[in-house]
Structure 1
């Protein structure tokens, strides 16, 4: 797998930033994760390929610089210093530093921690086939973070997984409702759309 293949696999153009690579991998890995697609070998193969591409890109794409900027200093020079002297007079530097203060938690950070803890709980519910609890959890998180694309994706996947389970339980009308909800929640997700279409085809064969 060369560098170009890695970018294409993650749905990115060559030269994408470290942050873009990380965000794209996180989104796709959630979609193809084996816990979400326990019986789908194609999804599992896709997940493995995504992970290999991501790890390779991390070795060649440096992360954004996170080093702190140097402290600003104010130099106080004597006005009478002679420019012709070879040795300059000592200068006094005043470092502008703020005393350490206890910083309250950022609201965005709190929301992110809540988001990922909820995601872990959602995965647990889906693995344990506790679908009503999973749906309720996903809907509650979506109500709290209505503009978060990842949360909408998780909600749509939860709908689709429960819809598929309802087909196996022969609750066909209810299954159709939740499959439609999945498409409505995340209408631009091509992979989800393909999965739901296969589920609809299975429904048609049973009816």
Structure 2
């Protein structure tokens, strides 16, 4: 997920402070939390997207702060070393300075304070057509799985994978769909086809430990049925 998409997900401008980002994240996290959206099958995906966006922006802000501190420390050390060298090297005493005429006191400059406003009325997820399309298609995949229309679900999720190749939630549901279909094939006694889709699920989302555990267990089951 790119930083620009993270800003768009949270509904904040690119020059937003970390406090602005935290406020937007808390608002959206409360809105999309699965515990208060039990009738919405896409709430979990929305909540996960908001969490990932906040984590990436927070990590990016911390990296920028570390670079700034390092730069200031390097500049301070350089100035200190230069001062030390100047003290150590012998130099002729400076000539006496002429008295400096006193200047009349100057008025303090006016400080312009910029106040940022965060618009809490905009729903960044529902206002983004690409995100809305992705979530609507994920909802359709979940409905198809509930109806056991696995072939149609596979066609939909594979089409989504071409359009959103780097979306983690699409990868997740693609692997889940392959696994659900393989389970039906095992029950139907179609062990060879089941093994094909189990391997597809394994290769699609290899970082999902829970899913990989179930897939490997089913692969062992298929092998035992073949040998039996």
- Taking structure 1 as the reference length, the TM-score comes to 0.49
Q: Highest CA radius of gyration, 1 or 2?
A: 2
Which structure has the highest helix share of the two?
2
Greater relative contact order, per chain length (Cα 8 Å cut-off, separation 6+)? 2
- Taking structure 2 as the reference length, the TM-score comes to 0.45
